[in-house]
Structure 1
């Protein structure tokens, strides 16, 4: 299965941590969303839940938050590669999630959708706070 779409989307999420200065990571940009640091840790946790779930045959939340000792950028990259590699494996079995039986394609689209939701939220938050968005967001999507 072609999983390049996930890699593309995850790289767009990772670009937030690479391009937005860390001085903004702990600031509440708008009331409706958490801080960037909270987002990054959430994305790592969710990617790890999906990765572990693909290995086990069932996706179970909430999973473990990454340690405060870990390097966020490194963990975003690691979690992206781990999930990409699991999604790329051939499977015939369904994946169980929230009492539903999902195909690998449905699991892939759910992971992409999750990343996209948060990209939209933080596009609004960054714009509202007057902080530049990642270059790829501007060049690829005109955001």
Structure 2
């Protein structure tokens, strides 16, 4: 893995740790909370982040964005323990794919994005889009936590929260 991709991974780790720290502080009972119509439960937010992270990883493996091959049981959204385990597995898989792919091959990788309405993206754009997606959910988590009147984990201090 080259320096640029390592830097992107460090940025992604910071971003994903924000949501992970929120998940770690919640009891199962709070995973059923929703802020309104079409927003899903808090647990469903975490399940979605895991599913899409898996989708990004599979796209790196297969050079094409598609529906996830590895499905996640919807009931997982009600269990902090199961969500934490899946979160860590999804992280390990992404890092393993990046670490075990030749640096030159990663640099040349073009991923077909037609599934999401874009022709293609190189590995850097793909990783940036993953970070953007996860940060979008961090913004949504702010709404959930503020609505629930919960204190933010220490990691969110860098965001002034």
Match of 1:75 in 2: 86
2:120 alignment partner, SS class:
strand
What does 1:119-138 align with in structure 2 at a 5 Å threshold? 119-137=138-156
Q: Distance in 2 between matches of 1:52 and 1:78?
A: 13
Q: More displaced, 116-125 or 77-86?
A: 77-86
- Residue 58 of structure 1 and its aligned partner are, at CA, apart by 0.5
Q: Distance in 1 between matches of 2:10 and 2:90?
A: 15
TM-score of the superposition, structure 2-length normalised? 0.78
1:102 alignment partner, SS class:
strand
Match of 1:22 in 2: 28
Q: Distance in 2 between matches of 1:87 and 1:103?
A: 14
Q: Note if 1:117 corresponds to 2:133.
A: no
**Structure 1 unaligned blocks of 5 or more:** none
**Structure 2 unaligned blocks of 5 or more:** none
Structure label with greater radius of gyration: 2
- Residue 21 of structure 1 and its aligned partner are, at CA, apart by 2.5
Q: Note if 1:93 corresponds to 2:104.
A: no
Q: Distance in 1 between matches of 2:69 and 2:158?
A: 32
Q: Note if 1:59 corresponds to 2:35.
A: no
Q: What's the CA shift string for 1:63-113, capped at 9, x where partnerless? A: 554123681101111112212333454211211112421111100100000
- Residue 140 of structure 1 and its aligned partner are, at CA, apart by 1.9
Q: Is the alpha carbon distance of 1:22 and 1:125 closer, same or farther for their aligned partners in structure 2, counting shifts above 3 Å?
A: same
Q: Note if 1:36 corresponds to 2:36.
A: no
The answer to whether the 8 A contact 1:27-1:35 is kept is yes
2:32 alignment partner, SS class:
coil
Q: Is the alpha carbon distance of 1:87 and 1:108 closer, same or farther for their aligned partners in structure 2, counting shifts above 3 Å?
A: farther
TM-score of the superposition, structure 1-length normalised? 0.87
Considering Cα pairs closer than 8 Å and 6+ residues apart, tell me whether 1 or 2 has the greater RCO: 1
The answer to whether the 8 A contact 2:65-2:111 is kept is yes
The answer to whether the 8 A contact 2:113-2:121 is kept is yes
- RMSD of aligned residue pairs (Cα, Å): 2.0
